Amino acid sequence: MKNSTFTLPFAIIACSLIFGLTTGLSAKETGFYVHGGVTYWDGFDAPSLDDEIPLPDLSIDYELDDSRAKLSLGVGFHIDEKWSFEGFYVSTPERVFSGNNWTFPPFQPGGDPISVTWSATTNQTIGGISAIYDLYINENLSLFGKGGIAFVRHESSQSISVENLPDIALENIIPTTFSDQEDTQEVFGAIGARIPLMQGKVGLTFAYQLIQTDDDPETSFEIGFQWNL
Distance, CA of 35 to CA of 131 (rounded, Å):
14
| Domain spans in the chain, listed from the N-terminal domain onward | 10-187
Distance, CA of 99 to CA of 93 (rounded, Å):
20
By the 10 Å C-beta count (0-12 exposed, 13-18 middle, 19+ buried), 126 is classed as buried
Whole-number pLDDT of residue 11: 42
Residues 182-208: tens digit of each pLDDT: 999 999 999 999 998 866 688 899 999
Residues β-bridged to residue 78? 31, 84
Integer CA distances (angstroms), 47 to 50, 69, 218, in order: 9, 19, 11
Residue 40: count other Cβ atoms within 10 Å of its Cβ. 20
Which three-class secondary structure string do you get for 123-162? EEEEEEEEEEEEEEEECCEEEEEEEEEEEEEEEEEEEEEE
Distance, CA of 97 to CA of 115 (rounded, Å):
17
By the 10 Å C-beta count (0-12 exposed, 13-18 middle, 19+ buried), 156 is classed as middle
Phi, psi of 10 (to 5 degrees): -60, -35
Q: Would you say the pTM of this structure is higher than 0.85?
A: no
Distance, CA of 207 to CA of 222 (rounded, Å):
5
Q: Mind listing the pLDDT tens digit of every residue in the chain (229 residues)? A: 444 444 444 444 444 444 444 444 455 668 899 999 999 998 776 555 544 545 556 677 777 777 889 999 999 999 988 899 999 999 988 888 887 777 776 666 776 777 777 888 888 899 999 999 999 888 888 999 999 999 999 898 888 777 666 555 555 555 577 788 999 999 999 999 999 886 668 889 999 999 976 667 889 999 999 998 8
